[in-house]
Amino acid sequence: MATATIHNLIDLSRSDIEWLINEYCFVAKHRAILYSRWLDGLTFEEISIKHDISERQAKNIIRKYREIVLSHIDRLKLH
């Protein structure tokens, strides 16, 4: 099964995804987790090891910010 990234949800460039992460994620550790998932394509298991968190925490963080990011896609036109 292919790793799910935000690219699978919407058609955005890497720089657009970076902008969205930086614009709407204010916690440095959470930004690093989002980069790991959405830009590097790491699995939840790999993220949990890399960032010393549980897989459940990784999933919850990514789900939370996916909702936030997807609700602000229209702002991409402004940057």
Tell me, what's the pLDDT at 4?
Answer: 45
The full set of domain ranges for the chain reads: 11-78
Q: Which CATH code fits 11-78?
A: 1.10.10
Q: pLDDT-based confidence at 1, cuts 50/70/90?
A: very low
Please tell me the pTM assigned to this model.
0.81
Tell me, what's the pLDDT at 40?
Answer: 94
Pick the more confident residue, 2 or 49. 49
Distances from the Cα of 69 to the Cα of 11, 52, 75, 78, angstroms: 13, 24, 10, 15
Q: Is the model's pLDDT at 66 over the cut of 60?
A: yes
Q: Is the model's pLDDT at 10 over the cut of 90?
A: no
Which phi and psi angles does 7 have, rounded to 5°?
-60, -30
Q: pLDDT-based confidence at 43, cuts 50/70/90?
A: very high
